[in-house]
Structure 1
Amino acid sequence: MKLPILPERVTYDQLIAKVNNYERIVPSNLQELDNFRVKELPGILHQRQSSGGAFLEKEEATKLLNWKLYVLFLLLASNSDEVIRAITKDAFSAYTANPSDPIKPLESIAKLKGVGPATASLLLSCFDHENIPFFSDEMFRWIHFEDAGVKGWDRKIGYTMKEYKSLLGKVSDLRTKLKDGETIVTALEIEQAATVIFSERMKQPLEESLGNEEEEASKPSSSKKKRTVKHPK
């Protein structure tokens, strides 16, 4: 059977082609929350950063968790406004001071009730979705698809910080591999592409899941989705 496009062989054009299909596969009842996470909240956080320090309001953090996993919604809501604001502000400040070590800020965010490594990565990724990947099931399984001893899309996930460190390293390596001149794909775009690839695999037989890889690779460079990414320094 034909394997899906994998990180070891994916090209810049192929990945961006998947990113361009991302909005089409977002369920209608999640479009508002997804737009909040991908477009609205990052702008809000960057504005706060320039005004003295980024933080999440309780309502914002609740929306993100609702997007990720509904069953954890009430746990996060049990954190007070003050606790959420203080912990996320400290975490964002720590990350800004040392962006090369996102694990400590993530561990700080994970101290919130109802928040583990995966959800903590979601919150931090909204502060810098260029460099910080969200620990999604689809992203983790795709990026590790051909690791020895794993089972592709059926791989079990423990949602541990050790697994996130592995995800972080592989995403960083893939971004370096796909660098196109001065343009580099973001961690968010890799996540979106992985989500599209998984969605296509679920709808079609595995051997037909992604169509003709060569055809996608031959698309003209003008089809690339150019971006101007702004993130805190």
Structure 2
Amino acid sequence: MTDFTFDGIDKGTFNSLLKQYPTCVQDKLKPLDEQRFNNLPGILAERNGEGKVYSTKEEVATLVDWKLSHGTFRPSLKGLVLQNSPEFVLEVTTDGLSTSSDDNLEARLKTLCKLRGIGPATASLLLAVNDPDTVPFFSDELFRWASWKDETAGRWDRKIKYTPKEYRELVARVADFRSRVESVSAAEIEKVAYVLGKREQDLAIAEKASQARASTGNEESKSSTKRKASPEAAVSAAKEKPKSRKVANARELQVSDEKGSNASRRSTRSMKK
């Protein structure tokens, strides 16, 4: 049996799932994927080489669009992010993405959260784009997959608080994974987690649809049963009909006898007169 757990998956299974990632992304969202996994990491790498790393307001907005397309859609989030001034975004991202003065991810996460509309998950995305090899994005799928203890303990609907503490735990888990499974990046681990989560989601949707069809079929069956008379009811009705005819005949005879008696009494009175 193939082991899909975070601690048990092997390199072959990992690579097989990684190849499935493009099929899990809708065509209309692939330009955003290109920005998130290729273009923006390349731009930040160039800035890193120049000694000053930062993200522009437009780049942050693009990453927010990507995040919303991959996870829970929150229409108000993009509006909040756009309320940040370009100057403030430049200042905060320069402090948060810099690795020269402070390499503490949790401290840099807190710095990036100064931006309006940016919480720990989105802040981790900015960090992950800056260092896709070692820094993980705090995605729902990755956190839930990394939280599995064994095959039965993992739950794709596990509640997430999106706290710095949870992110710290995720960073440690991803580091352990990379030490066990060689030559994989944090971004690739994120993609495999997305494939597994998407597959689980599709299975859940299919199961609900199957249950709905079964429920509809049962309701139609009950309705059909109500419309059709049961064999027992038909037999009962057949038994009642003879009784009804007998009662009617008896009443006719009674009326006939009463008429005959009345006629006889009238005839007797006439003879007496």
Decide which of 132, 138, 141 is 2:141's aligned counterpart. Answer: 138
**Aligned match of 1:62:** 61
**Aligned match of 2:112:** 109
Runs in 1 of length 4+ with deviation above 6 angstroms?
none
Q: 2 CA distance for matches of 1:14 and 1:151?
A: 18
> What pairs up with 1:150-189 in 2 under 5 angstroms?
152-179=155-182, 184-189=183-188
Which amino acid letter does the alignment assign opposite residue 102 of structure 1? L
Q: Give 3-state SS (helix, strand or coil) of 1:185's partner.
A: coil
- Give the Å deviation of 1:198: 1.4
Residue identity over aligned pairs, in percent, reads 37
**Aligned match of 2:89:** 84
Q: 1 CA distance for matches of 2:154 and 2:5?
A: 14
Q: 2 CA distance for matches of 1:151 and 1:13?
A: 21
Q: Give 3-state SS (helix, strand or coil) of 2:84's partner.
A: coil
- Give the Å deviation of 1:114: 0.6
* Residues 11 and 52 of structure 1: CA distance in aligned 2, closer, same or farther (over 3 Å): same
Q: 2 CA distance for matches of 1:201 and 1:92?
A: 34
**Aligned match of 1:52:** 51
Equivalent pair of 2:147/2:154 in contact (CA under 8 Å): no
User: Structure 2 length as normaliser, TM-score?
Assistant: 0.68
**Between Structure 1 and Structure 2, which shows a larger proportion of helix residues?**
2
* Residues 38 and 96 of structure 1: CA distance in aligned 2, closer, same or farther (over 3 Å): farther
Residues 84-135 of structure 1: per-residue CA shift (max 9 Å, x gap): 0110011122x34443x21111110011111111000001100001111000
Which amino acid letter does the alignment assign opposite residue 191 of structure 2? Q
Larger Rg computed on CA atoms: 2
User: Structure 1 length as normaliser, TM-score?
Assistant: 0.79
- Give the Å deviation of 1:190: 0.5
* Residues 50 and 14 of structure 1: CA distance in aligned 2, closer, same or farther (over 3 Å): same
Q: 1 CA distance for matches of 2:154 and 2:128?
A: 27
Q: Give 3-state SS (helix, strand or coil) of 2:156's partner.
A: helix
- Give the Å deviation of 1:146: 2.4
RMSD over aligned Cα atoms: 2.1
Number of equivalenced pairs = 198
Which amino acid letter does the alignment assign opposite residue 126 of structure 2? L
